[in-house]
Every structure is written in structure tokens, then in C-alpha cells.
């Protein structure tokens, strides 16, 4: 189990051991007897946020549904469950989650810990659905954070970066199940966003724009509608034209692994992600970066990046632009800010990507862009820390939950503690 790689294969973990428990009491015993511990999810982060030179604990076997509360409309799960597994259970029982990421293969705990998100004008990131969570502290005892507890508010811990302990149990708010349908349009001019940004992004439950930055336009627009797509005979969408066949976001890639398109209705969990659960991604052979800017700055930020498209395009598979609603989560990039995420899926050439990221970050600096915690960035620690108003409180919470620094690692020391 040693020297495991992340999903994309670009990062090799440095743990001396990896333990895979079956039960929470085994987690407690393991954590209590180790000097340094980091929880490892489905290994979808691209950087060192979950790494350690000491002990890894994988919760992949703690993946059960514990309770479905039909009165309060909440589901309680073990932290290792993956979204794809949870979605199938919820749908079978008449429920849904408000939002999903592009991939349904990621673990609930890992996705929430890093503020992973889907999209939608009224959809907050995945961690915003967390009503309460239970984590194992350094001495092996458990502690709960909930929406009702002012001493241990869920807003402090839902995006916890693995810094507070090992999350073992989570309770999520759920909604009644619903159908969705998905339409794809091609070739939306970037200039359409200047005056019609709000209209474009509010035109469906979830909207994604994809570009390879080769031209000042978006190759594809993915509209995910709640219920059936509007039957208005529309073939034009703000200058984009309806796709005549099912498409993959990356030009030239086959669409067989993508969720159903062309307005065909189906269950929410089979439309909201871009990729189907039964398709398990192989080693991704890609790199990812993502930056969050205020919604009001999005068009200007995209225009700034367009100025350097000749530097970006040769290194890129695809770039995706999505909106995320503001939340109250202390370490979320969308804390009290309606945001737009600009995502880059790079070709696996880290030396070249590492050279271009500082230029991307310089272009986005006037817009106070915040990098995704689980993806690749080169921003200076002091700059990143200045973007989080709640960082001092989070540091104090870390000291309270983890006085011995058992859950710290180089990433947290560098980017959160500022050491």
C-alpha cells in the first residue's frame, strides 16, 4: 500500500503506512496510537493536501448509509461513501442531493473537506449540504459539529481540509427526487457574456461553459434542466447552436462515458454529473487547476485570460466555467461571495504547467482569485491566506481540536498556518 499515487498519477504519497479500518472504533484506536495521521479519500486531489510522511488512514470500507430521516429530510452516512453510491440509494428512496460534482466517483468526506462543487446560480458547493459531522480527534475521542451548536458550528468544519481530525460520519440535507434533462450547444462567443452573463447562467439548473482557449469563444454549453428541457424549438442559444449529437467536453473524445444529453429526461443523479458512475475513470493522465472569482468580476477575468490564450491553449485539454452560490463555510472559496469557477484540465506536463500558472494567477490577481484547495496552484502562501477572512478563527479551531498537531502536514503548515 506504500507509495500510492493519486487518481491522476501526478502525485506520489509519502506515507509510511496505510490502514483501512472497517469500523469507527478501529479509526479511534489507530488515531490515538499514531503520532501523525492523515485521512485519504478517493485520491482525487492533485496536490499534497492529504499527504503525510507518517500514517494514512483510508475510509474506503466505511461507506455505509446509517440512517435516512424522512421527517427532517436528512441522510446520515459514513464518511467513505462515494457520491455515486449514495445517489443510487437516495434516488431509490425518493430523495436527491442539491448538487453534484462533475465526477460521481469521489468520496463525500473528501469532496466536502476541499470545498468541491458543482454548479448553478442557486447551488452552493457540496459541503453546504452538510448539517452535521462527527470526527475523531487526536486522542481518539469523537466530537460533533452541527448547525445548532454555536461552540462547534458546522460552518467551521464542513470545509475542514483534514485539519481538525478524521471525519467518520456526516449528515446531509436532502431534497425530494427529481428528473433532469441535458442539452448541449456549440460555439458561444465570449463577448455574449458581457451583457448576457446572468441570462446565460440562469437559463438552467446548472450551466457549464467549456473552452480550449484556441478562439475567443466557448466550444460547448451544457445546460442541465430540472425536469424536461424547454420545448421551444430553440436551435440558437445566445449565438450558440444546438449540438446534433452527444458530445464529450474535450474535443475529439468519444462521448460514451458522458451522461445522457439531447434533452432526454432521466434521474437527477444520471444528469447532474458530466460523467457516468458506471464508467470508472482510469488513471486520469491530466492535471487540474481552478480559481474562484466574484461573479461580478467573471467576464473581466475571462477577458484577462483570453489575452494569454496562446500560452494556455497548447497545454490544455479543456477549461470549464461555472457559477457557485455564496455560502457561510469558513474555508470555502465561495465564503459570502457568489462566485464563478474557472477550471483548467491540463495535459500531464507539470514542468510547462508550473511555468504558466504564475502568469494565470497574475492575470487573475486583480480579481482576488482563490485557488481550489485540492488542485494545482503556485500562489504564495501569504497571498492565499489574505483571501480568507475566517482564517484566524480556523487556526484557533485547529489548535483546539488538534493541540498536538497530529493532523498537520506540510501543506497545512505552509498554506494555512503560514509557517
Largest CA distance in the chain: 64
Helices (H) and strands (E) in the chain, counts: 11, 20
Is 396 in a helix, a strand, or coil?
helix
Grid cell locating 227: 425536469
* Extents of the domains making up the chain: 17-58, 65-176
The pLDDT tens digits of the residues spanning 7-48 come to 888 888 888 999 999 999 999 999 999 999 999 888 888 888
CB 49, CB 374: distance < 8 Å: yes
Residues 6+ apart with CB under 8 A from 30: 19, 21, 37, 55, 57
The pLDDT tens digits of the residues spanning 200-221 come to 999 999 999 999 999 999 999 9
Architecture of domain 65-176: 2-Layer Sandwich (3.30)
What's the confidence (pLDDT) of residue 402?
A: 94
Rounded average pLDDT over 373-393: 96
What's the confidence (pLDDT) of residue 284?
A: 62
Taken in order 17, 126, 335, 8, is the CA torsion positive or negative?
positive
The pLDDT tens digits of the residues spanning 89-143 come to 999 999 999 998 877 678 999 999 999 988 888 899 999 999 999 999 999 999 9
Rounded average pLDDT over 46-67: 93
Residues 6+ apart with CB under 8 A from 240: 185, 186, 187, 188, 218, 221
What's the confidence (pLDDT) of residue 282?
A: 45
Query: What is the share, in percent, of the chain residues with pLDDT greater than 90?
Result: 79
Cα distances from 294 to residues 45, 303, 326, in angstroms, run 24, 14, 10
Closest CA to 332 of 113, 103, 78, 138: 113
| Rounded Cα distance, 208 and 220, in Å | 8
The pLDDT tens digits of the residues spanning 147-198 come to 989 889 999 999 999 999 999 999 999 999 999 999 999 999 999 999 999 9
pLDDT band at 233 (very low <50, low <70, confident <90, very high): low
φ/ψ of 25, rounded to 5, equals -65, -30
Amino acid at each position: 500500500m506504500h507509495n500510492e499515487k493519486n487518481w491522476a498519477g501526478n502525485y506520489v504519497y509519502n506515507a509510511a503506512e496505510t490502514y483501512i479500518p472497517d469500523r469507527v472504533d478501529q479509526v479511534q484506536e489507530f488515531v490515538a496510537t499514531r503520532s501523525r495521521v492523515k485521512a485519504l479519500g478517493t485520491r482525487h486531489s492533485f496536490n499534497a493536501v492529504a499527504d503525510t510522511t507518517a500514517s494514512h488512514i483510508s475510509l474506503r470500507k466505511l461507506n455505509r448509509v446509517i440512517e435516512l430521516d424522512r421527517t427532517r429530510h436528512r441522510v446520515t452516512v459514513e464518511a467513505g461513501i462515494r457520491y455515486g453510491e449514495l445517489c443510487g440509494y437516495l434516488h431509490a428512496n425518493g430523495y436527491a442531493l442539491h448538487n453534484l460534482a462533475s465526477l460521481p466517483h469521489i468520496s463525500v468526506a473528501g469532496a466536502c473537506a476541499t470545498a468541491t462543487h458543482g454548479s448553478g446560480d442557486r447551488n452552493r458547493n457540496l459541503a453546504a449540504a452538510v448539517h452535521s459531522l462527527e470526527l475523531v480527534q487526536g486522542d481518539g475521542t469523537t466530537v460533533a459539529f452541527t448547525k445548532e451548536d454555536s461552540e462547534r458550528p458546522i460552518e467551521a468544519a464542513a470545509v475542514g481540509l483534514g485539519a481538525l481530525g478524521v471525519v467518520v460520519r456526516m449528515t446531509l440535507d436532502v431534497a425530494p427526487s427529481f428528473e433532469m434533462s441535458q442539452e448541449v450547444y456549440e460555439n458561444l462567443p465570449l463577448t455574449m457574456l458581457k451583457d448576457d452573463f446572468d441570462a446565460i447562467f440562469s437559463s438552467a439548473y446548472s450551466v457549464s461553459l467549456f473552452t480550449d482557449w484556441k478562439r475567443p469563444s466557448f466550444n460547448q454549453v451544457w445546460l442541465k434542466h430540472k425536469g424536461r428541457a424547454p420545448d421551444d424549438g430553440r436551435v440558437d442559444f445566445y449565438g450558440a447552436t444546438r449540438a446534433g449529437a452527444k458530445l464529450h467536453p474535450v474535443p475529439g473524445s468519444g462521448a460514451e462515458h458522458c451522461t445522457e444529453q439531447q434533452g432526454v429526461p432521466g434521474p437527477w443523479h444520471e444528469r447532474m454529473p458530466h460523467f457516468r458512475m458506471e464508467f470508472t475513470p482510469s488513471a486520469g493522465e491530466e492535471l487540474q487547476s481552478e480559481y474562484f472569482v466574484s461573479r461580478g468580476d467573471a467576464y473581466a477575468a475571462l477577458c484577462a485570460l483570453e489575452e494569454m490564450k496562446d500560452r494556455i491553449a497548447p497545454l490544455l485539454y479543456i477549461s470549464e466555467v461555472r457559477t457557485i452560490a455564496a455560502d457561510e463555510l469558513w474555508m470555502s472559496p465561495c465564503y459570502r461571495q457568489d462566485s464563478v469557477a474557472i477550471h483548467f484540465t491540463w495535459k500531464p506536463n507539470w514542468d510547462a504547467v508550473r511555468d504558466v500558472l504564475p502568469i494565470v494567477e497574475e492575470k487573475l490577481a486583480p480579481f482576488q482569485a482563490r485557488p481550489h484547495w485540492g488542485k494545482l496552484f503556485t500562489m504564495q502562501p501569504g497571498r492565499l491566506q489574505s483571501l480568507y477572512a475566517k482564517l484566524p478563527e480556523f487556526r484557533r479551531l485547529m489548535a483546539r481540536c488538534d493541540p498536538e498537531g497530529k493532523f498537520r502536514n506540510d501543506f497545512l503548515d505552509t498554506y494555512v498556518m503560514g509557517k
